[in-house]
């Protein structure tokens, strides 16, 4: 008997939880290419897609995988790929195509240490800026960061919902530690899972303008084979979807692509706080680093330091407003992350000199030792 | 001399985005000819047009997707095939056509081409081969004949080109034909056959590029190319694809080279998955939600 939707409590790793989250979200097309430490997602999808009536295909590379999920998205499927750094680099061009064509899909990047082949089996968080800016040109993106296997499950669903709602590739920026960590995952029954599906056109084909934005700046999306006869392109285009090679159209289109994220950011941005009400030092972290940070914050509190925690769930768009408000009342931000300091620059920019920003960089291969973070908190509190 | 009536309707207007005309192609270019022949061949196929989707890559031929009034996708350079694979597998009811140029399909997209042919995904590829990168001004392509000049082979090309039908046949295509822009009726027949063929079909249409390729290779007008094709083409159906290389100023062997039966990706997928999930469940495949 084929398993459809799993419901209950499971002991599973983050990669498997991600695949199950995709299935819960309605993903029925997965294209991917083997790469450590994301391979288990493809393996799980190879097993599970046929069980739920979906399609799994192992493509010839990550470029093809990204292209295939865009095609599947236009055929009406919720689609996904999963990769790690080297594959993420290869996907960049077609992520840009997804942004320009406004094709909903989800890309999971299980981060490992780079650059290049780096440490294929070991943890890092070095792709955070690549997630933001990796494809050429100017655009906005949505990226989420899970800290547990449970969040791998839940944020994959959220990534699909956001991609369908705002019509763009949404990035799930996981890391090797979270993806390979096996822990309890609770999967609710399907009827308790809130799902969002792209808005379809409510006008006949002759009146349909594929890129006419709605009030939320997102256009309604026709899919292939339903008689709409639409055209879509990676070129700068007008509301008909036709290429227009002018500065004016570029201004209009790119502004809208950026603003559709900007005006909806209250719906998109999520973070968790702990002890920030009276905190003098706020540790701002994400992914596996947020778990270790939380431990260090609790220890600091035991020592009498007024420490708090700001865990980023949505990393892009960046919770600029929250950092700005906190900066007015705290002494310093401490930013542990497994890279040379990517998100710390963003925190520093948002703090705008009102509070100090102390990066706690770690080059990858392991997670931070809690004492390293605790030391940074102690110094910041002085 | 005003014999050209600009208000005159083109017989294919109903299938073109006339609000995008004039098109970008140069005088004497063969892409417009191939496009018209494609539309004629498509209409003859009797396929339901609502289910036909056109996918292009980047380049002069890549712009075709923007002129055909069907669901059409102008994707990234070289990636039309994997994009088309996603469309087809996510909705098997679609008839997917990839319409792109030689540089797009066989240089930057070469890896995708051999894998799509190997899988035998049910789709038709129409390759306009003008032996060069027209859009960027006439650089050498993986199809440029030996000794031919281009802006990146100014002393003559010293790279062995691909023989497209041989590559397609060896990679697993079930239908392979080659014609030139002179052979409009035969090209049309091959396009109709390819569209109705189950599996991965390839039609190569050799086409003039007087503006950049021809200018550097003593064929400065479209007419020069057409005369050359007429005088030098040899129709040889079932020719061994290994023997249809194109040489500079040589003969061009045209015809239908491959027309075989081989189970498609979806056929084999249904067969294999059917053993576990039952034939009925697999047949409805992606439609089950």
Which residue does chain B place closest to A242, by CA atoms?
B66
B71-74 vs B95-101, strand pairing mode: unpaired
Residues of chain A numbered 27-86 and touching chain B (CB < 8 Å): 28-29, 31, 50-55, 57, 59-61, 63-65, 67-77, 79
Averaged over B80-100, what is the pLDDT? 98
* Residue in A2, A75, A242 closest to B86 by CB: A75
Least confident of A126-135, A347-356, B209-218, B272-281: B272-281
Which residue does chain A place closest to B67, by CA atoms?
A231
Q: Are A317 and A140 in contact (CB under 8 A)?
A: yes
Inter-chain touch B90–A29, beta carbons under 8 Å? yes
* Residue in A79, A96, A224 closest to B53 by CB: A224
pLDDT of residue B287: 45
Averaged over A110-136, what is the pLDDT? 98
Q: Are B116 and B200 in contact (CB under 8 A)?
A: yes
Q: Are A179 and A116 in contact (CB under 8 A)?
A: no
Number of Cβ within 10 Å of residue A245's Cβ equals 9
Residues of chain B numbered 33-72 and touching chain A (CB < 8 Å): 50-51, 53, 55, 65-66, 69-72
ipTM computed for the complex: 0.97
pLDDT of residue B8: 73
3-state secondary structure A87-130: HHHHHHHHHHHHHHHCCCEEEEEEEEECCCCCEEEEECCCCHHH
CATH second-level architecture of A272-381? 3-Layer(aba) Sandwich (3.40)
Inter-chain touch A225–B51, beta carbons under 8 Å? yes
A222, A218, A219, A217: which is closest to A204 by C-alpha? Answer: A222
Segments making up each domain of chain B, as ranges? 17-263
Does any CB of chain A come closer than 8 Å to the CB of residue B111? yes
Count, residues in chain A? 382
DSSP A30-94: EEE---TTTHHHHHHHHHHTGGGT-EEEE-SSHHHHHHHHHHHHHTT-EEEEEE-HHHHHHHHHH
pLDDT of residue B4: 61
A169-175 vs B233-235, strand pairing mode: unpaired
Confidence of residue A1 (pLDDT cuts 50, 70, 90): very low
Confidence of residue B278 (pLDDT cuts 50, 70, 90): confident
Q: Are A168 and A104 in contact (CB under 8 A)?
A: yes
Which residue does chain B place closest to A29, by CA atoms?
B90
pLDDT of residue B10: 87
Which of A25, A31, A64, A195 to substitute to test the interface with B, most B CBs within 10 Å? A64
pLDDT of residue B1: 47
Q: Percentage of chain A with pLDDT > 90? A: 99
Give Cα B171 to chain centroid, integer Å. 16
3-state secondary structure of B63: helix
Q: Tens of pLDDT along A250-263?
A: 999 999 999 999 99
Number of Cβ within 10 Å of residue A236's Cβ equals 19
Please list the alpha-helical segments (H only) found in chain B.
31-45, 80-90, 102-103, 110-119, 164-171, 184-196, 215-216, 222-232, 265-277, 279-283
B53 neighbourhood in chain A, CB within 8 Å:
224-225
pLDDT of residue B42: 98
A97 neighbourhood in chain B, CB within 8 Å:
75-76, 79
3.40.50.300, 3.90.1310.10, 1.10.730.10, 3.40.50.970: CATH of A8-192: 3.40.50.970
pLDDT of residue B286: 45
Inter-chain touch A53–B285, beta carbons under 8 Å? yes
Superfamily of domain B17-263: Thiamin diphosphate (ThDP)-binding fold, Pyr/PP domains (3.40.50.970)
Q: For chain A, where do the domains classified as CATH 3.40.50.920 start and end?
A: 272-381
d(C-alpha A31, C-alpha A84), whole Å: 14
d(C-alpha A191, C-alpha B188), whole Å: 52
Q: Tens of pLDDT along A51-68?
A: 999 999 999 999 999 999
Confidence of residue B281 (pLDDT cuts 50, 70, 90): low
Q: Tens of pLDDT along B102-145?
A: 999 999 999 999 999 999 999 999 999 999 999 999 999 999 99
Query: Chain A closest CA to B284's CA: distance in Å?
Result: 8
| Residue A301 half-sphere exposure toward CB, CA atoms < 13 A | 16
Radius of gyration of chain A (CA): 21
């Amino acid at each position: 008997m084929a398993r459809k939707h799993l419901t209950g409590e499971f002991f599973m790793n983050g990669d498997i939880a991600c695949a199950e989250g995709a299935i819960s979200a309605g993903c029925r097309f997965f294209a991917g290419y083997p790469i450590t430490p994301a391979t288990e997602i493809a393996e799980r999808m190879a097993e599970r897609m046929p069980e739920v009536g979906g399609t799994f295909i192992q493509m010839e590379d990550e470029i093809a995988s990204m292209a295939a999920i865009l095609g599947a998205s236009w055929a009406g499927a919720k689609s996904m790929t999963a990769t790690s750094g080297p594959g993420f680099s290869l996907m960049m061009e077609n992520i840009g195509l997804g942004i320009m064509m406004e094709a909903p899909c989800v890309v999971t990047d299980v981060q490992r240490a780079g650059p290049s082949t780096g440490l294929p089996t070991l943890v890092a968080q070095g792709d955070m800026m690549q997630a933001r800016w990796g494809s050429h040109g100017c655009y906005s993106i949505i990226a989420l960061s899970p800290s547990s296997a449970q969040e791998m499950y839940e944020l994959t669903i959220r990534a699909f919902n956001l991609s369908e709602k705002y019509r763009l590739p949404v990035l799930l920026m996981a890391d090797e530690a979270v993806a390979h960590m096996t822990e309890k995952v609770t999967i609710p029954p399907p009827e308790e899972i809130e799902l969002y599906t792209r808005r379809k056109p409510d006008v006949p084909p002759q009146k349909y303008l594929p890129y006419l934005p709605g009030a939320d700046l997102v256009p309604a999306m026709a899919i292939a084979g339903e008689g709409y006869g639409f055209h879509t392109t990676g070129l700068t285009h007008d509301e008909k979807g036709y290429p227009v090679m002018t500065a004016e159209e570029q201004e209009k289109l790119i502004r809208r692509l950026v603003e559709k994220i900007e005006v909806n950011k209250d719906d998109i941005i999520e973070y968790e706080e702990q002890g920030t009400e009276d905190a003098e030092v706020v540790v701002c972290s994400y992914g596996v680093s947020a778990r270790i940070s939380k431990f260090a914050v609790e220890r600091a509190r035991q020592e009498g330091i007024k420490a708090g925690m700001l865990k980023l769930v949505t990393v892009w768009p960046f919770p600029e407003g929250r950092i700005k408000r906190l900066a007015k009342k705290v002494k310093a931000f401490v930013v542990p992350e497994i890279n040379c300091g990517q998100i710390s620059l963003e925190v520093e920019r948002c703090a705008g000199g009102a509070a100090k920003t102390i990066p706690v960089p770690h080059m990858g291969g392991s997670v931070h030792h809690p004492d390293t973070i605790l030391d940074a908190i102690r110094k910041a509190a002085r | 001399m005003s014999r050209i009536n600009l208000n005159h309707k083109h017989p294919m207007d109903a299938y073109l985005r006339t609000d995008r005309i004039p098109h970008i192609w140069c005088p004497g270019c063969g892409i417009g000819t191939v496009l018209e022949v494609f539309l004629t061949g498509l209409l003859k196929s009797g396929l339901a047009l609502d289910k036909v989707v056109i996918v292009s890559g980047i380049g002069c031929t890549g712009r075709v997707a923007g002129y055909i009034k069907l669901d059409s996708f102008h994707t990234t350079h070289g990636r039309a095939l994997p994009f088309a694979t996603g469309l087809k597998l996510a909705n098997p009811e679609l008839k997917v056509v990839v319409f792109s140029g030689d540089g797009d399909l066989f240089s930057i997209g070469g890896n995708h081409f051999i894998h799509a042919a190997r899988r035998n995904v049910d789709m038709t590829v129409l390759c306009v081969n003008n032996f060069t990168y027209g859009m960027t001004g006439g650089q050498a392509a993986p199809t440029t004949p030996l000794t031919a000049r281009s802006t990146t082979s100014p002393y003559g090309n010293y790279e062995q080109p691909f023989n497209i039908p041989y590559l397609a046949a060896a990679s697993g295509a079930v239908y392979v034909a080659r014609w030139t822009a002179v052979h409009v009726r035969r090209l049309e027949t091959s396009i109709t056959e390819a569209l109705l063929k189950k599996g991965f079909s390839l039609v190569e249409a050799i086409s003039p590029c007087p503006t950049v390729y021809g200018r550097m290779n003593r064929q400065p007008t479209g007419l020069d190319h057409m005369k050359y094709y007429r005088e030098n083409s040899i129709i040889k159906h079932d020719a061994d694809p290994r023997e249809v290389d194109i040489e500079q100023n040589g003969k061009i062997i045209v015809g239908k080279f491959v027309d075989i039966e081989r189970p498609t990706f979806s056929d084999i997928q249904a067969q294999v998955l059917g053993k576990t999930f039952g034939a009925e469940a697999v047949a409805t495949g992606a439609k089950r939600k």
